[in-house]
Structure 1
Amino acid sequence: MTSSISVADTRTAQGPGPHAVLLDLDGTLVDTEGIWWAAETEVFADLGHVLDEVHRDVVVGGPMARSVGHLMSVTGTTATLAELTVAINSRFERLIEHGAPLMPGAHRLLTELSAHGVPTALVSASHRRTIDAMLRSLGSEHFDLTVAGDEVTRTKPHPEPYLTAAARLGAHPADCVVVEDTLTGVASAEAAGCMVVAVPSLVPIDPAPGRTVVSSLEELSVPFLRSLRTRIH
């Protein structure tokens, strides 16, 4: 995705604060965690397996390989990881054909970041096709770039996705704020050396050095994000 405003121009114009804001997708900007579970449930049902709700918290929010690997283990399915990944991604895309629900405050935050010229990246463990499908709801114009899980060698919780986004934006990771909803994503961002705002979705996340926890994106604003260095340090 491209922007009409250059990263170099916006950085000098934005004043003190983060040089870039890097945002997770599922569960952070878009309320898709339940949709992913529905897609997984339907695909495994087609194979004759009923997924117990007890596994939902284990698989939601994690990388596809880990999530599907867990479900393969508990069901004993003979389908391969590659086959299941394709089937689940395809089912998910069908489920969001008519749009995906945004998290409260997501549209307002993205619009505000764009209005203030803050370089912004979408960093997701989801595959490129899935991200592009959800950008129809989010608006690709809000992002200077997007990083998909199948475009990096190692996905979250490894720091590579966030290091990649920061490098492509020309920003030092320590000058970037990451917004995440899961412990997996927080671990990735912190390993990359970024400041973190956690907006927990399914599993509680505790405050920690370099990490601020809020209950909703509605609490976030450009002034809030610009104040994080003072709050954290």
Structure 2
Amino acid sequence: MNAPRLAAVLWDMDGTLVDTEPYWMAAETPLIESFGGTWSHEQALGLVGLGLEDSARILQGTGVRMSTDAIIDHLTDDVMRQLSATGVPFRPGARELLAGLRDAGIKTGLVTMSMRRMAQTVVDLIDFDAFDVVVAGDDATRPKPFPDPYLQACEALGVTPDETVAIEDSPNGLRSAVASGASVIGVPLMVSLTGAGAHTLWDSLEGRTAADVAEFHAAHRARVHVPHPAEGAAR
């Protein structure tokens, strides 16, 4: 039995497919300040890759006197307004790689901790049929860094994790994807991914192709694939 072939590529959204992290930060700061709190850039970086419920609890700790659900709705609405005004802020090379994967017949999934209504807004603004499945924060049985979102995406696509590549920009996202059994590419944006478990780090998606992703997957699976005794060469 040979190592599995690439069947699907699973994308994180915020910070990986689209550069929306500044939008979240722009939504967080005035909300916190409206309750008399303060919010630094370093604190905002600490939320990158977290599930929205965890992020909301941290904001409550700064003095935001709103329920978890109300904070999530407020931030999501604010970011969606920014997206409606600016369009989809793709990260360099992301749109081209995503389109290339679709042209190559490779299944694609969006795996994000943003709410489904926001994820669907981003998907609807993309000018081609971009994803076979979307797993959002309100779909996940447990949030990243648990493997559940990636496992749910695999199940929905009818593939196994070892047939997939995941692309992530945050330590929490990387931990989730690695724990699922996918082959994982880290593409850092705002926070360092050193030591977070990515199987490879790419500085950018610019210039990357479906063939590059397939080559990475094949090389990684060959490294981790342990042949069954029946597969060994005859002595």
Aligned to 1:47: 35
Residue 119 of structure 1: which of 103, 107, 132 is its match? Answer: 107
Select the structure that is richer in helix: 1
2:227: which partner in 1?
Answer: none
Q: TM-score, normalised by structure 2?
A: 0.86
> What is the TM-score normalised by the length of structure 1?
0.87
**Structure 1 range deviating more: 155-164 or 96-105:** 96-105
For residue 78 of structure 1, report the CA deviation from its aligned partner.
2.4
Q: 1:131 to 1:140 in 2, by over 3 A?
A: farther
Following the alignment from structure 2 to structure 1, what is the Cα–Cα distance between the partners of residues 127 and 173?
22
- The CA RMSD over aligned residues, in Å, is 1.9
Q: 1:118 to 1:101 in 2, by over 3 A?
A: same
Give the superposition deviation at 1:207: 6.9
Corresponding residue number in structure 2 for 1:162: 150
Unaligned runs of 5+ in 2: 224-235
Contact preservation (8 Å) 1:20, 1:119? yes
Give how far 1:208 is off: 7.9
Matched, 1:144 2:114: no
Work out which of the residue numbers 5, 11, 20 in structure 2 matches 1:32: 20
Aligned residue identity for 2:109: A
Identity of aligned residues (%): 35
Distance across 2 between alignment mates of 1:136 and 1:145: 13
CA distance in 1, matches of 2:196, 2:28: 33
- Distance of 1:37 and 1:200 partners within structure 2: 17
Q: Quick one: which amino acid aligns to residue 95 of structure 1? A: Q
Of residues 24, 49, 65 in structure 2, which corresponds to 1:78? 65
- For 1:91, the aligned partner's letter is D
Tell me the alpha carbon deviations over residues 133-190 of structure 1, each in whole angstroms, 9 at most, x when there is no partner: 1123334611111111101221111111100111111111011000111111110011
2:194 aligned with 1:206:
yes
Give the number of equivalent residue pairs: 217
Q: Which amino acid aligns with 1:78?
A: R
Q: Is the 8 A contact 2:56 2:71 kept in 1?
A: yes
Match 1:56 to one of 25, 38, 44? 44
Cα offset for 1:199?
Answer: 0.3
Q: Partner of 1:172 in structure 2?
A: 160
CA positional deviation for 1:43: 2.1
- Structure-1 separation of matches of 2:197 and 2:171: 15
Counterpart AA for 1:185: G
* Conserved 8 A contact 1:178-1:197: yes
Match of 1:132 among 104, 120, 127: 120
Equivalent in the alignment of 1:66:
54
